[in-house]
Structure 1
Amino acid sequence: MKKERWDNLGSKFAHLTSAHPCYNEKAHFTTARIHLPVAPRCNIQCNYCIRKLDKCEHRPGVAGSILNPREALVRLDKYAKEMQNLKVVGIAGPGESLANEDSFETMRLVHEKYPGLIKCVASNGLMLSERVDDLVKAGVTSVTVTINAVDPEVGAKIYSFVRYHDKTYKGVEGAKLLIEKQFEGIKKASEAGLNVKVNTVLIPEINFSQIKEIAKKAAENGAIIMNIIPMIPLNKFEKERPPDCDELNIARTIAEEFLPQFRLCRQCRADAVGVPGAEPCGSPVQQRATSEYYHA
């Protein structure tokens, strides 16, 4: 069954997955991508996340500066000339892509000038079902949704708040709303023809028991691949321990019953550019976690 799932992934979305370094392990070492940091605002607060403008720190939620759509296109122009193997343009924050209108304008401009490049966005999924049509119109073909729980009681331990249509929800209420919208969004995105990847941040003492259900429900709603990434201890979770190599392996094995697993994630900055597999890691925590990924 596992081989069949990989075969299905390769056939249905081959034109995208074969070239995308976050979907295909061979492309991970040969294909360049660029993240355009045009999305500073976020509509949820994860307890492991700190958004930051920083030139040196290598992790999600970090960018050297925030660009407007025209500036982002200029940045893409520069690297498109320099990198013949640049095939993917993504928006991965440093906040929530779909909570920033500049994300849609940026992708529209990119698609207009570079229709052959793969366009993707990373999202927490809260607004996905409402913005799928806008993504399709902007030329986006791939979306990554970070889902960390299916049980609202567990989600309440991971998210400080959820801000939806100008109202703030906390605790179980906020987590329940977010989880419902995430799977609703995955289903609608898949039905619209987008290929959907699910990211899950593994926090051993909190959501390890959720891995199987996340993978199962994501697959049922149309996701095609999953990426389990180690939590980097920050913010309210600065004293939580990241998963070790064995825990990552076990989690991926459990989830692989339902979805193919991508195992080489570098946990990139929001302004990353280049071939992921050729980049050094940043912080000691990230170095350790990524080393475990590559040698697991």
Structure 2
Amino acid sequence: MILKDCMSDETRRKISEHPCYSPEAQHKFGRLHLAVAPSCNIQCNYCDRKFDCVNESRPGVTSEVLSPKSALEKTAQILKQHPYIRVVGIAGPGDPLDNDETFETFRLIRENFPDITLCISTNGLLLPDRFSELAESDVETLTVTLNAIDPDIQKEIIDMIYYNGKKYEGREAAEILIENQLKGIQMAVTAGMTVKINTVLIPGINDKHIIEIAKKMNGLGVYIMNVMPLINQAAFADIVPPTDAERKAVQDACAPYVKQMKHCRQCRSDAYGLLGNDLSVEKKASGKELKTIAVKKDEEIKE
């Protein structure tokens, strides 16, 4: 079943200029990621944000964490130099909704660049809790990383969550995360946001389950789904990533339910420019290791 397209002309225009939502836009329009959000409330078993070098281009990596004021200054400079950039987003290096700086940054960008499309990428744990702030920030496109809707599968993917001042592990953590993700996605769709789902394809763990996620997203009204190959690191360092053919097979199985994004570059948290030409890496490629970015809070968590 394919959902009926009820988008407004303005929403269509925004999507046509968003390189992550439109395969055609990736060649003409750019995006700018502002790394203002270092704190994260989840430890995923495939995530390692402890270091950064110029040879790495993957989610959770940045060369520096910006203040909202510095992010505004960077935005002004980059938009002047690269006017083809139409989207300003926050995607880390932690979870944007776990950082108050995210909302201050969006406020500053919207005040100074009212025509830019604001975008956010989140794990979704705090999406229902902070949705009113997100809506007030005039964010138009939302990405949620959703790797399972079955708690028994999700508990194999995350090590822990930190929610409402408490650490949760195992199935309990998985149940809380999934409930909040689905509730937040529904809130966003109802509010008129264009929603993308990122799903990490992890062989032997969620590879047979992803089609069930696609079916669920169809019912919620999600616009597009991005099946991303596992980057084998951290606790999943020994898992062999999926082949291109394996990823394509999952995408093809999901396509009848949700439009598939097939041009993802798994960008850094400070990426800017065209998807296929990350100017943040090009600018800093001096061959030296860059600033260390620490993972949030395990030492802060109260048992």
TM-score surpassing 0.5?
yes
The CA RMSD measured in Å over matched residues stands at 1.9
Q: Select the residue among 7, 18, 21 that pairs with 1:20.
A: 18
8 Å CA contact 1:129, 1:185 repeated in 2: yes
Whole-angstrom distance in 2 between the partners of 1:277 and 1:263: 13
Aligned residue in 2 for 1:240: 239
Judging changes above 3 Å, is the alpha-carbon distance between structure 1 residues 29 and 8 closer, same or farther for their aligned structure 2 residues? farther
Deviation at residue 132 of structure 1 after TM alignment: 1.7
Aligned residue in 1 for 2:93: 94
Deviation at residue 281 of structure 1 after TM alignment: 12
Deviation at residue 11 of structure 1 after TM alignment: 6.0
TM-score, normalised relative to structure 1: 0.90
Whole-angstrom distance in 1 between the partners of 2:279 and 2:151: 36
Q: Tell me, what secondary structure is at the counterpart of 1:207?
A: coil
8 Å CA contact 1:52, 1:94 repeated in 2: no
Deviation at residue 212 of structure 1 after TM alignment: 1.1
Deviation at residue 256 of structure 1 after TM alignment: 0.9
8 Å CA contact 1:190, 1:223 repeated in 2: yes
Whole-angstrom distance in 2 between the partners of 1:265 and 1:13: 21
8 Å CA contact 1:53, 1:65 repeated in 2: no
Aligned residue in 2 for 1:162: 161
Deviation at residue 220 of structure 1 after TM alignment: 1.4
Q: Which amino acid aligns with 1:202?
A: L
8 Å CA contact 2:270, 2:280 repeated in 1: no
Query: For each residue in 1:27-49, what CA deviation from the matched residue of structure 2 results, as whole angstroms up to 9, or x when unmatched?
Result: 11111110000000100110000
Aligned residue in 2 for 1:292: none
Superposition map of 1:57-206 within 5 A: 57-206=56-205
1:215 matched to 2:214: yes
Q: Tell me, what secondary structure is at the counterpart of 1:145?
A: strand
8 Å CA contact 1:9, 1:224 repeated in 2: no
Q: Select the residue among 30, 47, 50 that pairs with 2:45.
A: 47
Q: Which amino acid aligns with 2:207?
A: F
1:251 matched to 2:250: yes
Q: Tell me, what secondary structure is at the counterpart of 2:36?
A: coil
Deviation at residue 193 of structure 1 after TM alignment: 1.3
Whole-angstrom distance in 1 between the partners of 2:275 and 2:195: 20
8 Å CA contact 2:272, 2:279 repeated in 1: no
Q: Select the residue among 36, 39, 44 that pairs with 1:38.
A: 36
Whole-angstrom distance in 2 between the partners of 1:140 and 1:182: 17
Whole-angstrom distance in 1 between the partners of 2:245 and 2:53: 32
Deviation at residue 150 of structure 1 after TM alignment: 1.0
Judging changes above 3 Å, is the alpha-carbon distance between structure 1 residues 277 and 8 closer, same or farther for their aligned structure 2 residues? farther
Whole-angstrom distance in 2 between the partners of 1:97 and 1:281: 20
Single out whichever of 129-138 and 149-158 deviates more from structure 2: 129-138
8 Å CA contact 1:10, 1:17 repeated in 2: no
Aligned residue in 2 for 1:273: 272
Number of equivalenced pairs: 280
Deviation at residue 277 of structure 1 after TM alignment: 2.5
Query: For each residue in 1:66-117, what CA deviation from the matched residue of structure 2 results, as whole angstroms up to 9, or x when unmatched?
Result: 0010000000011011011010000000000100000011001000100100
TM-score, normalised relative to structure 2: 0.88
Q: Which amino acid aligns with 1:158?
A: I
Structure with the higher helix share, 1 or 2: 1
8 Å CA contact 1:69, 1:109 repeated in 2: yes
Percent of aligned positions that are identical? 43
Whole-angstrom distance in 2 between the partners of 1:281 and 1:255: 33
8 Å CA contact 2:45, 2:236 repeated in 1: yes
Whole-angstrom distance in 2 between the partners of 1:176 and 1:152: 5
Q: Which amino acid aligns with 1:248?
A: R
Deviation at residue 279 of structure 1 after TM alignment: 4.1
Whole-angstrom distance in 2 between the partners of 1:280 and 1:232: 22
8 Å CA contact 1:97, 1:123 repeated in 2: yes
Whole-angstrom distance in 2 between the partners of 1:92 and 1:62: 10
Deviation at residue 222 of structure 1 after TM alignment: 2.4
Whole-angstrom distance in 2 between the partners of 1:176 and 1:12: 36
Deviation at residue 10 of structure 1 after TM alignment: 8.8
Deviation at residue 53 of structure 1 after TM alignment: 4.7
8 Å CA contact 1:255, 1:261 repeated in 2: yes
8 Å CA contact 2:271, 2:278 repeated in 1: no
